[in-house]
Amino acid sequence: MKTRSLVTIADTSKEKIMYLLEMAHEFEKNTNRKILDGKVVATLFFEPSTRTRLSFETAANRLGARVIGFADPKITSGTKGETLKDTIMMVSNYADIICMRHYLEGAARYASEIAPIPIVNAGDGANQHPSQTLLDLYTIYQTQGTLENLNIYMVGDLKYGRTVHSLLMAMRHFNPFFHFIAPDELKMPEEYKEYCEQQGIKYKEHKEFNAEIIKDADILYMTRVQKERFTDLMEYERVKDVYILKKEMLKDTKDNMKILHPLPRVNEIAYDVDEDPKAYYFQQAKNGLYARQAIICDCLGLTIDDVKNDPTILK
Amino acid sequence: MKKELQVAALENGTVIDHIPSNKLFDVVNLLHLQKMTTPVTIGYNLESQKMGCKGIIKVADKFFNPEEMSRLSVIAKNMQLIIIKNYEVVEKINVDIPDQLKGIVRCSNPKCICNNEPMSTHFHVTDKVRGIIKCHYCEKEQVLEKVQLI
């Protein structure tokens, strides 16, 4: 059955990305509405993710929808052996749209093929997390005024970090220059470097992370270096403090430069960076609300005109 | 010196030629030839100028459909199907990998939904020359030679 699901942003066209960003901007201007009055949004979190779930639920609540769902898979029938298909079919009877997080890769794709209502992928294992990518794109656009011709520096875990992979693929339309800064263990996988070459995306790899290297950055996209990713713990001890952003590293950076991070952070951004106007990760998280409002409305068939000429805006 | 035919000729049916010897029994299993009731001749470790060593299978009164042929393409490249009618070769078909494989091979990613739900697998063939396939669900690329058949 053909519905307007959002499973991945990797194959989304440039026009569609810009359209969703424009819609998100409308929600930033007027966040509280009743445009989804009478709708029921289900948030099914087969894997806990407080941050993403709260963001989706807030997005739905601020548009007047009602929210059902579960935050903890332990309380669902999945533990009794129910298949994903049965859960999705059951919830499809109750809700108008499903936002789902699942620990298995491809779960949202499969759900979108069997469900009679739209599915929004809120993360499927290590695979895709399109609402995160859209909020990253929105934040870049918001802070730089464009997505075109930017120097984007990605730092930390570039091997397992799905947010950097999705962002890389979504940026292919906009002629970016990527700089990948990571230890050997966590460097950008070959398949993504091949992808860059196929798409004509310029990139450079670095092992060092210092003020000199990042001075041309427009966007500094930090990620968490996770201890559990390392097979050699001595190697972890050696690199864990190398990829930390410190306040003094910012002094020669460009004025328009902004620091992003998908959060949660551990120690990779020193806390005194938070006061710097270039630190933008909390605003970035806030943008998740607008991006998710746009995603939910688009999947429910509402257009940019519906959103612009919305008579239900609460002042 | 006259070359002798190592396997008897077929009146009607299909000859599967240029099977790599080490893949011969995979072909047998894949096409469920052990369940056939018509005569099946299986040649194993036969001399081949092109391949050094090959397998050949002759199946009487059987003509394979496109789905069965696409299953075959997964096992090895460059196999050939020769359609025989009344002792004459009427068609030679080179087995070609289709653009998509549904329900034929297993995804090698244990965390893929298709290995955890009662559902059919689905792959897109992204590189026919190198035999690279991509899972429709988890999006992991895999090498055809290393994937398991269902």
Please indicate, yes or no, if residue A314 is contained in any of the structural domains: no
Q: Least CB-CB distance to A104: which of B112, B118, B136?
A: B112
A50-61 vs A130-144: helix axis angle to the nearest 10? 70
Same domain for A56 and A135, yes or no, is no
For residue B27, what are its two tokens? 């072909």
Give me the pLDDT at residue A77, please.
Answer: 63
Of the residues B137, B141, B142, the best mutation for testing chain A's interface (the one with the most A CB atoms within 10 Å of its CB) is B137
Give me the pLDDT at residue A297, please.
Answer: 98
Judge whether B135 is closer than 8 Å to chain A, CB to CB: yes
Average pLDDT for chain A? 94
Show residues of chain A in contact with B135, CB under 8 Å: 106
Judge whether B112 is closer than 8 Å to chain A, CB to CB: yes
Q: Least CB-CB distance to A106: which of B118, B137, B141?
A: B137
Quick check: B134 and B123 in contact, CB under 8 A?
Answer: yes
Show residues of chain A in contact with B122, CB under 8 Å: none
Structural domain for A147, as ranges: 131-284
Distance of CA A132 to the CA centre of its chain: 1
Same domain for A123 and A139, yes or no, is no
ipTM of the complex: 0.88
**Min CA distance, A48 vs chain B (Å)?**
17
With CB atoms and an 8 Å threshold, state whether A8 touches B139: yes
Please indicate, yes or no, if residue A51 is contained in any of the structural domains: yes
Distance of CA B93 to the CA centre of its chain: 12
With CB atoms and an 8 Å threshold, state whether B111 touches A104: yes
Residue of chain A whose Cα is closest to the Cα of B115:
A104
Same domain for A45 and A182, yes or no, is no
Same domain for A79 and A62, yes or no, is yes
Give me the pLDDT at residue B8, please.
Answer: 66
Please tell me which residue, A160 or B86, carries the higher pLDDT value. B86
Q: What is the pLDDT of residues B98-132, one digit of tens each?
A: 899 999 899 999 999 999 999 999 999 999 888 89
Catalytic residue ranges of A: 51-52, 80, 101, 129
Please indicate, yes or no, if residue A6 is contained in any of the structural domains: no
Please indicate, yes or no, if residue A187 is contained in any of the structural domains: yes
Same domain for A247 and A148, yes or no, is yes
The answer to whether residue B9 scores a pLDDT higher than 50 is: yes
**Min CA distance, B12 vs chain A (Å)?**
43
Residue of chain A whose Cα is closest to the Cα of B109:
A105
The answer to whether residue B1 scores a pLDDT higher than 70 is: no
Q: What is the pLDDT of residues B43-65, one digit of tens each?
A: 999 988 888 899 999 999 999 98
Residue where the block lists tokens 């993710």: A49
Q: What is the pLDDT of residues B13-51, one digit of tens each?
A: 999 999 999 999 989 988 889 999 999 999 999 988 888
Same domain for A161 and A90, yes or no, is no
Please indicate, yes or no, if residue A8 is contained in any of the structural domains: no
Same domain for A270 and A294, yes or no, is no
**What length does chain A have?**
315
CA distance A149 to A177: 7
Of A226, A136, A207, residue with least CA distance to A174: A136
Same domain for A114 and A186, yes or no, is no
CA distance A284 to A96: 28
Of A56, A90, A70, residue with least CA distance to A299: A56
Q: What is the pLDDT of residues A155-200, one digit of tens each?
A: 999 998 889 999 999 999 999 999 999 998 889 999 899 999 999 9
Q: What is the pLDDT of residues B126-148, one digit of tens each?
A: 998 888 999 999 999 999 888 88
How many domains does chain A divide into? Answer: 2
Show residues of chain A in contact with B114, CB under 8 Å: 106, 110
Same domain for A136 and A259, yes or no, is yes
Show residues of chain A in contact with B111, CB under 8 Å: 103-105, 125-126
CA distance B86 to B10: 8
Listing DSSP states for B73-117 in one string gives HHH-TT-EEEEEETTEEEEEEE----SEEESSB--S-TTBGGGTS
A217: number of Cβ within 10 Å: 22
List the CATH number of the domain containing A138.
3.40.50.1370
Q: Least CB-CB distance to B109: which of A102, A105, A110?
A: A105
**Min CA distance, B36 vs chain A (Å)?**
36
Same domain for A123 and A38, yes or no, is yes
Domains annotated for chain B, with CATH where assigned, are: 13-94 (3.30.70.140), 100-146 (2.30.30.20)
With CB atoms and an 8 Å threshold, state whether A106 touches B113: yes
Of A95, A116, A100, residue with least CA distance to A1: A116
Please indicate, yes or no, if residue A3 is contained in any of the structural domains: no
Residue of chain B whose Cα is closest to the Cα of A125:
B111
Residue of chain B whose Cα is closest to the Cα of A10:
B139
- Tens-of-pLDDT digits for all 315 residues of chain A? 456 999 999 889 999 999 999 999 999 999 999 999 999 999 999 999 999 999 999 999 999 999 999 998 887 666 778 899 999 999 999 999 999 999 999 999 999 999 999 999 999 998 999 999 999 999 999 999 999 999 999 999 999 888 999 999 999 999 999 999 999 888 999 989 999 999 999 999 999 999 999 999 999 999 998 887 778 888 888 888 889 999 999 999 999 999 999 998 988 999 999 999 999 999 999 999 999 999 999 999 999 999 999 999 998
| DSSP H or E segment with residue A26 | helix A14-29
The answer to whether residue B69 scores a pLDDT higher than 80 is: yes
Give me the pLDDT at residue A266, please.
Answer: 87
Please indicate, yes or no, if residue A313 is contained in any of the structural domains: no
Q: Least CB-CB distance to A125: which of B111, B119, B135?
A: B111
Q: Least CB-CB distance to A106: which of B118, B138, B141?
A: B138
Same domain for A119 and A163, yes or no, is no
Same domain for A302 and A230, yes or no, is no
**What length does chain B have?**
150
Show residues of chain B in contact with A128, CB under 8 Å: 139
Residue of chain B whose Cα is closest to the Cα of A102:
B113
